[in-house]
Amino acid sequence: MAAVRALLRGLGRATVSCRTLMLSHARCQPEFTSLEEKPQFPGASAEFVDKLDFILPNVISGIPIYRVMDRQGQIVNPAEDPQLSREMVLKFYHTMTQLNTMDRILYESQRQGRISFYMTNYGEEGTHVGSAAALNDRDLVFGQYREAGVLMYRGYPLDSFMAQCYGNSGDPGKGRQMPVHYGSKDLHFVTISSPLATQIPQAVGAAYAIKRENADRVVICYFGEGAASEGDAHAGFNFAATLDCPILFFCRNNGYAISTPTSEQYRGDGIAARGPGYGLQSIRVDGNDVFAVYNAVKEARRRAVAENQPFLIEAMTYRIGHHSTSDDSSAYRSVDEVNYWDKQDHPISRLRHYMLSKHWWDEEQEKAWRKKSRKMVMEAFEQAERKLKPHPDNMFSDVYMEMPAHIMQQRESLWRHLKIYGEHYPLDHYEK
């Protein structure tokens, strides 16, 4: 008994020092005493109960979907209208439609065998542009692979998109990755990697480093609801919460992970419902409402910087295109379903309705812009097609910062081989 008391005294002292050091910290337990019938477990703050009850899985359910516009582009609650200038809204619209035009042309060019692969962004334009617009241009972006609109909003040139997809000499990634694996140092967009969810804990690490710089920056990390099933997603959420990182987790919940519908991906209320479990402030927004996305990201960004806290934003949307050019989604979903989203709940048409009702846009402007936009894309496309591939030496560089001797030897052995057998290789398509 004496030993127990001594132990308790010791714990009491620990409590005092804990309080002194971390006065404002809610996690510090107030008292260690067995006199009151209060739980003292370090892992939870709660009361005892004497009735056996399981918590139902639907304790968090029906998380509402924040929106600003209805499907006809009318502002639902004027207090939530971000009151963006005509100029800014036009930039939204131009980016969303330009992205759509680029998608059409690159998709078709893949079908014709001109590029090896492509992924369209159809239907998710609102999530890209709304979030990109609400960030500062220096905020660091970790994407998954379907966020081309974020890069486009930041001003990534069409030539560079095309160069990457062609893997030609203009590709900053030096032709090494599959199409749509963009990256831009200048635009603070970390190069895409194909494995899913790997970017999530990385983004958290970056946010931690950025927090220590204290430079009014945040990190935004995009991922799909499928990738959120990966172990890396769990690690990322938990690290961000425990290490107080200024990060915005932006989940594009588009209904499908290739063929797998959300009903086979999770049983809780989407991704937003996980937030409270990790200690993340969370919100669900209508991803097809570019203003709702904008408002949510803007506010989350402001608070993430001010409070050094992570935020989870689940943007509900729909992947209108196939997963990629390697997929035919008619094998697992109906044309009617796709039609609904395409015809009745599309982020671009919703924004157009808004612009029409403001008299900022009309049929003539639409026609002229379509023509101009297509022309710009086609010009970039034709240029990309004419360019040579990068010099084959680019296969060997950047494995390490310096080239180790064994890789140098392998490079030399390739050129010795090509001297004799060069006719069997497509050398003409590559820079000399």
How far apart, in whole angstroms, are the C-alpha atoms of residue 140 and residue 138?
A: 6
* Nearest CB to other proteins, comparing residues 78 and 426: 426
Pick one of 19, 91, 114, 303: the residue that binds other proteins (CB under 8 A).
Answer: 114
Q: Which residues within the stretch 388-417 sit at the binding site for other proteins (CB under 8 A)?
A: 389-390, 392, 394-396, 399, 406-407, 410, 414, 417
Known catalytic residue: 80? no
Distances (CA, A) of 376 to 99, 118, 151, 293: 12, 19, 17, 28
Residue 194: active-site member = yes
Specify whether the CB–CB gap between 229 and 260 falls below 8 A: no
- The reply on whether position 139 binds other proteins by CB under 8 A is no
270 touches other proteins by CB under 8 A: no
Please, what's the largest Cα pairwise distance for the chain?
90
Please give, one letter per residue, the 3-state secondary structure of 222-254: EEECCHHHCHHHHHHHHHHHHCCCCEEEEEEEC
Which of 55-63, 202-210, 268-276, 318-326 is the region at the interface with other proteins (rule: CB under 8 A)?
Answer: 318-326
Applying the rule CB under 8 A, the residues between 343 and 382 that interact with other proteins are 343, 346-349, 366, 370, 373, 378, 381-382
Catalytic residue among 109, 323, 329, 373: 323
Question: Which residues, numbered 327-346, are part of the site for other proteins (CB under 8 A)?
Answer: 327-332, 335, 338-339, 342-343, 346
User: Using CB under 8 A, which residues numbered 213 to 242 contact other proteins?
Assistant: 226-227, 229-232
Establish if 194 lies at the interface with other proteins (CB under 8 A).
yes
For residue 402, indicate whether it is catalytic.
Answer: no
Rule CB under 8 A: say whether 254 interacts with other proteins: no
Q: Is 202 one of the binding residues for other proteins (CB under 8 A)? A: no
The one-letter code for the residue type at 327 is: D
Quote the Cα angle for 31-37-38, to 5°.
45
- Site residues (CB under 8 A) for other proteins, limited to 152-181: 167, 175-178, 181
> Closest distance between other proteins and the C-beta of residue 366, in Å?
8
Stretch that binds other proteins, among 1-9, 111-119, 214-222, 307-315 (CB under 8 A): 111-119
Q: What is the DSSP letter of 262?
A: G
- The strand pair at 256-257 and 189-190 is best described as unpaired
Q: Is 69 in the site for other proteins (CB under 8 A)?
A: no
The residue within the footprint of other proteins, chosen from 62, 64, 78, 113 (CB under 8 A), is: 113
Contact between residue 220 and residue 247 where contact means Cβ atoms under 8 Å apart: yes
Element (H, E) at 373: helix 363-386
| Distance, CA of 129 to CA of 184 (rounded, Å) | 17
Q: Are 135 and 220 in contact (CB under 8 A)?
A: yes
Say whether 324 is catalytic: yes
Catalogue the active-site residues: 108, 194, 323-324
